[in-house]
Amino acid sequence: MRTAAISRKTAETDIVLTINLDGEGNADIDTDVGFLNHMLTLFARHARFDLSVHCKGDTEVDDHHSVEDIGIVLGEALSQALGNRQGIRRYGECLLPMDEALVMSAVDLSGRGACFQQLDLPAQKVGSFDTELVEEFFIAFARNGRLTLHLRSITGRNCHHIIEGAFKSCARSLRQAVSIDSSHPLEIPSTKGVL
């Protein structure tokens, strides 16, 4: 089983997270950030990861620390669950429509952490959630997951739809990338022999 369990406690957040890359898409999410709960629940479903995230953070300040730190821990857990990345397909991509929004993602589980985003978010908030935190989440996730992530909104007017499209598209790209290539299950998918 490709699983990981990580706990991370700082002066700002206390996070316990488990992941199973070969799951059914089950989610147990409680972050004290309602919009992020929604995004992580649909992320788990579309990636087909079983995901549990519990976070107590200093949300009386704002949601920044919780959102960024959950991105860090989710990335660390993904990388740990992948192990040496033997047999994975490595790459994944998805062009996802979410009502009027159309979002593209592409993932390379390269072992190098980088995030390139062009998400045009026309509002500063979705409910009480600061939309600028989406960028912080995905940067933290990509760096700590040791993956290259591209996200781009092609069309869209509604921030909720664009952000939801980004999480769903990323999840579906990851679903492809982490899947085992049945024709080469023992191979590290790199000419270097390591990822």
183 domain-assigned:
no
Ranges 1-5, 27-31, 51-55, 186-190: which has the least confidence: 186-190
What is the model's pLDDT at position 3?
98
Specify if 192 maps to a domain. no
pTM of the model: 0.97
Q: What is the CA radius of gyration of the chain?
A: 16
Residue-number span of the structural domain to which 106 is assigned = 3-178
Residue with structure tokens 């979410």? 98
Which token pair is 90? 């490595």
Per-residue pLDDT for 120 more than 90? yes
Structure tokens at 64: 């920044």
The answer to whether position 186 is within a domain reads no
Kind and range of the H or E run holding 87: none
Q: What is the pLDDT of residues 152-191, one digit of tens each?
A: 999 999 999 999 999 999 999 999 999 999 999 989 999 8
Residue 19, Cα to own-chain centre: how many angstroms? Answer: 12
The CATH code of the domain that includes 44 is 3.30.230.40
What does pLDDT average to over the chain? 97
Q: Domain for residue 93, yes or no?
A: yes
Rounded Cα distance between 43 and 46, Å, is 5
pLDDT at residue 1 in the model:
87
What is the model's pLDDT at position 184?
A: 93
Do residues 26 and 52 lie in contact, with contact meaning Cβ atoms separated by under 8 Å? no
What proportion of the chain, given as a percentage, has pLDDT over 90? 96
In this prediction, residues 80-106 reach a mean pLDDT of 98
For residue 92, being part of any structural domain is answered with yes
Number of structural domains found in the chain: 1
- Is there a domain that residue 193 lies in? no
Residue 187 lies in a domain: no
pLDDT 10s digits, 6-40: 999 999 999 999 999 999 999 999 999 999 999 99
> What pLDDT score was predicted for residue 193?
87
